[in-house]
Structure 1
């Protein structure tokens, strides 16, 4: 039987973040991924590294503050992967948000970001409206500009795993987790590599499977409870580029949800939807209703643009089960442990791409009582991240 100190399940951004944090702290860690790094939700995000401007409306000020600090840190650590981007918020006569409330929200966003190189938000002069890439100006009453950042989420995930491996972390991919036995002083994990079943003994397990890891009761001994969370489908579409020179945060004219219209290489990226999903995560595909919803929003704000859908894809968020709409639910990451006094199995629920490093640090902190004392090898807040695409493409 193999032995290590920590087994991480799932090669999305949170899994590789935990692997990096554990290796940096001096621990032996093995990450198991069944398909490829960032094969699931971590390659199907809105590609944003941001504070989450809209979370201010629901009072999630601490979350926004943390994410803005992480945004600035990632801009320094990964300059080849994370890039500052100009965003515009157009407000119309029919908009549900008032000019003053948006101005105050952006002022708070600037304040929470602190002293950074990011340009301060401002109201765009009417004389500049003709330079807004064909934005609909009928009924337009104000346009605000602010700054956030974009990334290639797949490339960022691979870069973090590359950093983890440089520190000694091991990656097994493709490898399918089959079961885990949680014992008093250790755990045993079974996984499949091709036709070969393997076993590994470890001190703790981190479930970073996201939507694939909510219900693991039939694969753990003793069984873990199902979590009061649900999967939320987030669809994005890609249309021709249409010379879009900046990102736009607009309001759906039908349900008033916020939607991003973003430059994405030679294309325009529009997203996202938020619809409960109850099927098999491996069978997720964008619905025609979701595609039509996003295409209609794009055509509403940019009526002269080519809105041909070139591609569409969907990811799954994990959000708390509540009676409220997914758009208004808390976005704080939840970290659940099997036993607070003897945490051998830790599950990451929810979370944002931007905050992956802080989530990983919280996980390692939760496990301190069952992990041995080690001398740290590095600080993840100082580790540079560089592109490493070809290294993690399965054979």
Structure 2
């Protein structure tokens, strides 16, 4: 029985976009099924940063930081119209949870992981004479200010760019289209979906579940469903305020010690993010009044000129959902590695992606290609037996080793 496609990717967020692009570049027939719109959920509600994750060093996630810094370098070189370096400032006060020596140690390690040959790997402590030029940052009890560099992007525009690249490579997009059910058969995966008000069926050799916060509900529509690890949905809120603090990003501590970014965004200021467990339909996630107040207080704590702002001055707010492993630890301290789950380790037909970072979407995509290669490099003989075949185009040796 012939198949319509080699791979169906469910979800057109950054992880689905990256998977579709990598699979299409490898020469496979790819179709993307998206229920809402490109980057309609988490991939347009992030902190808009391409970074290694300085705070992940606190929890010992060195490999993740190194991986993300390597990807940051690739994105800067290959998508300069979408990703740019911006100075980040970390103020340290007498009351800060992280003392100056610890911040300096973290930045030293961050610089080493980013590569000493990179001009942007350097950081420095600002002289006191420079403190008055930091967009009105409070200097009361200020002990030190460190400047380093990381990158900023338009997350939705980046996702659209990757989807467009996948389509250029031959991928097809069904949007809006909703998965009704997927059944594993002897010849691949039979998929029923609704598009344009009609129930349709397609056959594919493999299905990749990149539906982000819908990963569990999408998995439940697959027969058999994969044994996913226990996961939590964690909501994060940002607020947008009608002022500009210049082209600087401030990395500050909230009242509970959490790290919060204060960032320029389209001539205004974006502040985020929060972290709270979320239960319910991902479509219904919205910022809470408490979260908006928490972020506004964090801004006002460090920038006295904003203390006249009230809740009604918030121009906009949005909430996105992270997929994190279920643990007793606070969301802030949980590992951020991307989990790949499949029905068969040797030749998977159904694969689910749990978690994933904007910065490292390509790494996840290459892992997916590598995982699916045994399945996709097999073809059916007339009697239905699987025989080996080569992919339509080969990956580079570097890609194969990722």
Please tell me the TM-score bracket, short chain as reference: over 0.9
Gaps of 5+ in 2: 378-389
More displaced, 116-125 or 57-66?
116-125
* Alignment-derived partner of residue 199 in structure 1: 201
1:17 aligns with 2:34: no
Deviation at 1:143, TM superposition (A): 0.2
In the alignment, is the contact (CA less than 8 A) between 1:81 and 1:152 conserved in 2? yes
* Alignment-derived partner of residue 352 in structure 2: 347
Deviation at 1:378, TM superposition (A): 7.3
Q: Aligned partners of 1:376, 1:262: CA distance in 2, in Å?
A: 42
In the alignment, is the contact (CA less than 8 A) between 1:241 and 1:263 conserved in 2? no
Q: Aligned partners of 2:393, 2:165: CA distance in 1, in Å?
A: 15
Instruction: Tell me the matched-pair count.
Output: 381
In the alignment, is the contact (CA less than 8 A) between 1:49 and 1:354 conserved in 2? yes
* Alignment-derived partner of residue 87 in structure 1: 88
In the alignment, is the contact (CA less than 8 A) between 1:88 and 1:143 conserved in 2? yes
In the alignment, is the contact (CA less than 8 A) between 1:215 and 1:227 conserved in 2? no
Aligned alpha-carbon RMSD (Å): 1.7
* Alignment-derived partner of residue 376 in structure 1: 393
Deviation at 1:379, TM superposition (A): 6.6
Deviation per CA, 1:156-207: give whole Å up to 9, x if none.
Answer: 0000011111111111111111110012341111111021111111110000
Deviation at 1:381, TM superposition (A): 9.3
* Alignment-derived partner of residue 385 in structure 2: none
Deviation per CA, 1:81-104: give whole Å up to 9, x if none.
Answer: 001010000000000111111111
In the alignment, is the contact (CA less than 8 A) between 2:340 and 2:353 conserved in 1? yes
In the alignment, is the contact (CA less than 8 A) between 1:133 and 1:245 conserved in 2? no
More displaced, 285-294 or 184-193?
184-193
Give 1 or 2 for the bigger CA radius of gyration.
2
Q: Aligned partners of 2:396, 2:83: CA distance in 1, in Å?
A: 19
Q: Aligned partners of 2:21, 2:121: CA distance in 1, in Å?
A: 31
* Alignment-derived partner of residue 383 in structure 2: none
Say which structure, 1 or 2, has more relative contact order (CA 8 Å, 6+ apart).
Answer: 1
* Alignment-derived partner of residue 380 in structure 2: none
* Alignment-derived partner of residue 389 in structure 1: none
CA gap 1:29/1:190 in 2 versus in 1, 3 angstroms: same
Q: How does 1:323-338 map to 2 (within 5 A)?
A: 323-338=328-343
More displaced, 373-382 or 157-166?
373-382
* Alignment-derived partner of residue 239 in structure 1: 241
Deviation per CA, 1:42-84: give whole Å up to 9, x if none.
Answer: 0000000000000011110010001001001100111110010
CA gap 1:211/1:43 in 2 versus in 1, 3 angstroms: same
Of residues 136, 143, 155, the one that matches 1:134 is 136
Tell me, what secondary structure is at the counterpart of 2:304? coil
Q: Aligned partners of 2:394, 2:375: CA distance in 1, in Å?
A: 19
Q: Aligned partners of 2:110, 2:218: CA distance in 1, in Å?
A: 39
CA gap 1:301/1:163 in 2 versus in 1, 3 angstroms: same
Q: Aligned partners of 1:189, 1:110: CA distance in 2, in Å?
A: 47
Deviation at 1:246, TM superposition (A): 0.3
* Alignment TM-score, normalising by the size of structure 1: 0.93
More displaced, 335-344 or 152-161?
335-344
In the alignment, is the contact (CA less than 8 A) between 1:204 and 1:343 conserved in 2? yes
* Alignment TM-score, normalising by the size of structure 2: 0.92
* Alignment-derived partner of residue 384 in structure 2: none
Q: How does 1:21-170 map to 2 (within 5 A)?
A: 21-114=22-115, 115-118=117-120, 120-170=122-172
Tell me, what secondary structure is at the counterpart of 1:20? helix
In the alignment, is the contact (CA less than 8 A) between 2:88 and 2:250 conserved in 1? yes
